[in-house]
Structure 1
Amino acid sequence: MMESVELVIFDMDGLMFDTEMMYLKFAPGAAKDLGYNVKEDILRKTVGTNHKWALEIFKAEGYENFPFAEFWKILDKKYSDYFDETGVPVKKGLFKMLDFLKSINMKMAVATSSRRVKAERLLNESGAMKYFDLTMYGDEVLNGKPDPEIFLKTADNLKTEYGKCLVFEDSINGIKAAHSAGMIPVMIPDTIEPTEEVNKIIYKTYSSLEDAIQIFNKE
């Protein structure tokens, strides 16, 4: 199957950068600043999707009037302060994978639920941006993961058949989106382990991007 792959699509948060842990760390405090006590299990449901879908999840959980605009502003400030102080938290094996794929002339893209302003800072400051043929952001699609829109749009822009796209994801929402798009879903779990249901649609699971390089070497 790997011989047919023409495009590798990367999620960003939790896969390339250790930012989903930051979300789960900072989000409860941001909600409390606004007078809300949001349980971690609800926050985990929003991992891997965009702001629009996260809002729908909050509403379904009884937070109909949750002030999302203010919530994201507080989170963005916390993220920015963290990056200013510590730099971009790059995940293990990211650049080994990127260098390997570049060496075999593989097309690469980012398809992230994050908004452009946040994602571009991470990609540029980490030095990863230069590797990618295309970047697609959560504020450039109508429907967030698990809807496949962002993956389909990415493949369409790079004129690649969906079945010839391999997707690296860390979230359940992302894996479901890749599967729905007819692509090859490969999971590298971060904050959430795959469920039994999700395991049925994952092609392979690895502990890190470095570990995942073997998918190209052994098939």
Structure 2
Amino acid sequence: MIQAVIFDMDGLLIDSEPFWKQAEYDVFSSVGVEVTTDLTKVTAAMTTREVTEFWYAKQPWLGASLEDVENRVVERVKYLIETQGKAMQGVHDVLNSLQQAKVKIGLATNSPKDIIPSVLHRLNIADYFMAYSSADKVNRGKPAPDVYQLTLKKLGTEAHQCIAFEDSLGGIKAALAAGIKAIAVPHANEFDHDKFDLAPHKLRSLSEFNHHIGNALLSQP
């Protein structure tokens, strides 16, 4: 039986990835960086600090520190989430179902810790989560398993009793590396991409999930 479920955040619970792209463009352009669409595809899976270091290495700026610029990005994203954020399909239903079944619910994200409360409160889902972890608090972000391992510890759950929901390849790799069975929930334009074959199960949205799927996954060797 499923004892715990850990969710990714950006692109899975909330459609926030356009906000990150907008903030990246707004902030880095303001310090003189020429932000290109091709390179924002490269930075999409990075932590905010990694993104800041990436752009600085490409086009160093004067005046503002890396920490200051990184903080500006985070504040811009928070504002966009708090004013425009919307839940992805099935979020409230799956959380309610898990809570009724007394399954522990956690969150593991590469996003900075300051973003998490903004998302949970905007979507009115804060009360569902027993624990959450940010890549801020571990040595390595996804695809390393660190943020999942920390969340498992907070939940008091073993990896083999837990499943994870992820919308990205890096997130799936992180969950699997932590010993957790991962369910991929790719965005519609990527659903058929073979990179998601790495996950033992795949859904078009969280609304397709039921407890039979989760329990069947955990029973697999």
TM-score, normalised with respect to structure 1: 0.83
Structure 2 counterpart SS, 1:111:
strand
Cα distance in 2 for partners of 1:218, 1:183 equals 13
- The CA deviation string for residues 103-137 of structure 1, in whole angstroms up to 9 with x for no partner, is 11111101111222211122123221110111112
Query: Higher mean Cα deviation, 72-81 or 13-22?
Result: 72-81
Higher relative contact order (CA 8 A, sep 6+): 1
1:169, 1:188 within 8 Å by CA — same for their partners in 2?
yes
Find the partner of 2:119 among 119, 122, 127.
122
What percent of counterpart residues are identical?
24
Q: CA RMSD in A?
A: 2.6
Matched residue, 2:58? 63
Aligned residues: 212
1:21, 1:191 within 8 Å by CA — same for their partners in 2?
no
Structure 1 counterpart SS, 2:73:
helix
- The CA deviation string for residues 37-79 of structure 1, in whole angstroms up to 9 with x for no partner, is 23333323333442344456557xx527466434333323433
1:111, 1:151 within 8 Å by CA — same for their partners in 2?
yes
Matched residue, 1:101? 98
Where does the alignment leave 5 or more consecutive residues of structure 1 unmatched? Answer: none
Cα distance in 1 for partners of 2:160, 2:68 equals 40
Where does the alignment leave 5 or more consecutive residues of structure 2 unmatched? Answer: 217-221
1:148, 1:181 within 8 Å by CA — same for their partners in 2?
yes
Query: Higher mean Cα deviation, 208-217 or 153-162?
Result: 208-217
Structure-to-structure mapping, 1:66-105, within 5 angstroms = 68-86=66-84, 88-105=85-102
Question: Which contiguous aligned blocks of 4+ residues in structure 1 show a shift greater than 4 angstroms?
Answer: 55-59
Matched residue, 1:187? 184
1:28, 1:40 within 8 Å by CA — same for their partners in 2?
no
- The CA deviation string for residues 169-212 of structure 1, in whole angstroms up to 9 with x for no partner, is 1112111111211211111123873753x333211111211123
Matched residue, 1:199? 196
Matched residue, 2:10? 13
**Which residue identity is paired with 1:63?**
K
**Which residue identity is paired with 2:182?**
P
**Which residue identity is paired with 1:179?**
L
> Is the aligned partner of 1:171 residue 2:181?
no
TM-score, normalised with respect to structure 2: 0.82
Cα distance in 2 for partners of 1:217, 1:153 equals 21
Matched residue, 2:149? 152
2:82, 2:118 within 8 Å by CA — same for their partners in 1?
no
Change (3 A) 1:217 1:117: closer
Matched residue, 2:219? none
Find the partner of 1:132 among 129, 135, 138.
129
**Which residue identity is paired with 1:37?**
E
Structure-to-structure mapping, 1:37-48, within 5 angstroms = 37-48=34-45
